[in-house]
Amino acid sequence: MSESKRLDAVIVGAGLAGVYMLHRLRKLGLTARVFEAGSGIGGTWFWNRYPGARCDIESMEYSYQFSDALQREWEWTERYATQPEILRYINHVADRFELRDDIQLNTRVQAAHYDESDGLWHVATSAGAVTARFCIMATGCLSCANTPDFEGLGSFGGDWYHTGAWPHAGVDFTGKRVGVIGTGSSAIQSIPLIARQADHLYVFQRTPNYSVPAHNGPIDPEQVASIKANYRAFREENWTHGFGANFRDSAALAAEATPEQRQAEYEARWAAGGLAFLGAYADLVFDPQANQTAAKFIRDKIRAIVQDPQVAEALCPTTMVGCKRMCVDTGYYETFNRSNVTLVDVSKAPVERITPMGLTVDGKPYELDIIVFATGFDAMTGALMRIDIRGRSGQRLTDKWGAGPRTYLGLSVAGFPNLFTITGPGSPSVLSNMLPSIEQHVNWIADCIEHLDAHQISAIEATVAAEDAWVEHVNAVAGASIYPTCNSWYLGANVPGKPRVFMPYLGVPTYVEKCVQVAADDYDGFEKIACGGSAVAS
């Protein structure tokens, strides 16, 4: 690409966010190009190909709604779609809306610098430079794999993989001694399948997680027909829920229910399966005592499933339910009844080092042929911070966010004009059904750009005051909940040295209302620069 290539917008990342952003900008008549580091589109669903990878939001909800024809015609096969099926879906969308011409694969965006003299973003990629008025980060919340810096990794004589960068050819575990490090969602999905193949599986667990059964299966055609007959209403109803998904939220409080009522409610939700378990009572994520009623219920389930009492106890979390993201599994706890599976507690004595033969914990060697790092991501900020992003006066995003991310609405950063972050920190993002949240952000950004052009405004940027107030609000809302009570990736606690700041915004409906109001109030909290350079009075 030549130095002079000039676009209206650069979009970074060709996952579900980047693909739809391109579609919206094309409809506005803008020249836009998506740059994607991978060799295919799909983002999360391109990279996370580990065994058992599937979405834990139900298929009928985890799909685009911008095209009624698309949502009526696409047929999901299972209650929870597998990674290959979702990847096929994204590719179908790219073909159906003829988006591929403007998606450049195998191209990593390395830097994006705002030049105040020309009001443009100067973007450096691994395939050359480009300039654009808008720079839109569709980089994903969980796209920067975190492989802890274990001593001796380079000396390991076997093979190792990270769940978030899985080989396309797959991995054959047959007859192998396998170690999985981590027990988050990726591990909990992959462990039952790896255990079926491996000669022996060692699970190295630092913190146990709560998981509820998926009860996955073929999608119910009658349910599909009934949703499709009134898809819009189904979406609208789901969007009124706190997590923006159909968790069958109850208004009842666990604190006010009798033990018998709670037991019946939790049993019914356990039997139905899925994350809707958290919708059982309205106070579960706000009242620690209420939360512990759900925690005890799940611990009792674990003790009933896992035959070895010591292993069962080690698998029982002591944290609040939901403060680390809840998991949804198929046969996870049952897997620990297999004779070829060993749980190794690394909470007190960590994995000391990787050796040529495997790894050691507390002086004890474990011989392994394959190590699977299910160790998660530098969430929400990692993918942005590894790009050299500089705003006004050359300010680096890494400096601005040195003590934690600061945004207005998770969409805009003061000092970085015409830079947008899709599902950025400070927005519901990972505390919501990601796909509708992506669509909401893409629509907001596209509408904003349309507004700017209709009013001869060349640039828009969050004010410091609006950003400060928003960051304070995000923290205040989180502080009133159980979320900051454990070492989760929501807080950045999984990455050594990362500032502990609660990053997502809790509460889809309040958030969406705020975004609508901001736009209706002539982009309240934003500074606008008229074409020609002067500030536009608000």
445 touches ligand N01 (CB under 6 A):
no
**How many CB atoms are located within 10 Å of the residue 426 CB?**
29
For ligand N01, the binding residues in 456-515 under the rule CB under 6 A are 487, 489, 494
Alpha carbons 47 and 169: distance in angstroms, whole number = 12
Selected from 24, 49, 133, 325, the binder of ligand N01 by CB under 6 A is 325
288-305 helix and 259-272 helix, angle to the nearest 10 degrees: 60
187 touches ligand N01 (CB under 6 A):
yes
Identify which range of 88-96, 108-116, 375-383, 450-458 contacts ligand N01 by CB under 6 A: 375-383
Q: Of 35 and 166, which has the nearer Cβ to ligand N01?
A: 166
Alpha carbons 441 and 20: distance in angstroms, whole number = 10
148 touches ligand N01 (CB under 6 A):
yes
Q: Of 350 and 509, which has the nearer Cβ to ligand N01?
A: 350
**How many CB atoms are located within 10 Å of the residue 391 CB?**
22
Work out the burial of residue 533: count CB atoms within 10 Å of its CB; fewer than 13 is exposed, 13-18 middle, 19 or more buried: exposed
423 touches ligand N01 (CB under 6 A):
no
- Residue number of the CB atom closest to ligand N01: 184
55 touches ligand N01 (CB under 6 A):
yes
CB 10 within 8 A of CB 130: yes
Strands (DSSP E) found in 291-369: 327-329, 341-345, 351-354, 358-361, 364-367
Minimum Å distance from CB 336 to ligand N01? 15
Q: Which of 418, 403, 353, 405 is nearest to 379 (CA)?
A: 405
184 touches ligand N01 (CB under 6 A):
yes
Selected from 59, 107, 185, 437, the binder of ligand N01 by CB under 6 A is 185
CB 423 within 8 A of CB 445: no
143 touches ligand N01 (CB under 6 A):
no
Q: Of 204 and 336, which has the nearer Cβ to ligand N01?
A: 204
Q: Of 189 and 293, which has the nearer Cβ to ligand N01?
A: 189
**What does the DSSP 8-state code read for residue 35?**
E
Selected from 15, 51, 56, 284, the binder of ligand N01 by CB under 6 A is 56
CB 145 within 8 A of CB 337: no
Which residues are paired to 6 by β-bridges?
Answer: 131
**Helix, strand, coil fractions of the chain, as percent rounded to 5:** 35, 20, 45
Minimum Å distance from CB 246 to ligand N01? 15
> Could you report how far apart the first and last alpha carbons of the chain are, in Å?
39
Q: Of 49 and 262, which has the nearer Cβ to ligand N01?
A: 49
Alpha carbons 191 and 455: distance in angstroms, whole number = 55
Q: Which amino acid is at 321?
A: V
Tokens at 134, concatenated: 């808008």
Identify which range of 100-108, 313-321, 362-370, 374-382 contacts ligand N01 by CB under 6 A: 374-382
238 touches ligand N01 (CB under 6 A):
no
What does the DSSP assignment read for 487-501?
A: --GGGTTTSTT----
322 touches ligand N01 (CB under 6 A):
no
346 touches ligand N01 (CB under 6 A):
yes
178 touches ligand N01 (CB under 6 A):
no
351 touches ligand N01 (CB under 6 A):
yes
Work out the burial of residue 142: count CB atoms within 10 Å of its CB; fewer than 13 is exposed, 13-18 middle, 19 or more buried: buried
Alpha carbons 248 and 262: distance in angstroms, whole number = 15
Minimum Å distance from CB 13 to ligand N01? 16
Selected from 15, 182, 322, 415, the binder of ligand N01 by CB under 6 A is 182
- At 534, give phi and psi (nearest 5°): -85, 155
Identify which range of 179-187, 268-276, 392-400, 525-533 contacts ligand N01 by CB under 6 A: 179-187
Minimum Å distance from CB 368 to ligand N01? 14
Tokens at 357, concatenated: 């033969």
139 touches ligand N01 (CB under 6 A):
no
Minimum Å distance from CB 492 to ligand N01? 11
Selected from 71, 107, 131, 163, the binder of ligand N01 by CB under 6 A is 163
Q: Which amino acid is at 224?
A: V
**In sequence order, what are the residues at sequence separation of 6 or more whose Cβ sits closer than 8 angstroms to the Cβ of residue 490?**
324, 325, 379, 430, 431, 483, 502, 503, 504
Minimum Å distance from CB 189 to ligand N01? 6
The dihedral built from the CA positions of residue 334, 337, 341 and 344, taken in this order, carries a sign that is positive
For ligand N01, the binding residues in 18-47 under the rule CB under 6 A are none
Q: Of 147 and 443, which has the nearer Cβ to ligand N01?
A: 147
For ligand N01, the binding residues in 191-230 under the rule CB under 6 A are 204, 206-207
430 touches ligand N01 (CB under 6 A):
yes
In the complex, the residues that contact ligand N01 under the rule CB under 6 A are 54-56, 142, 148, 163, 181-187, 189, 204, 206-207, 325, 346, 350-351, 374-377, 430, 487, 489, 494
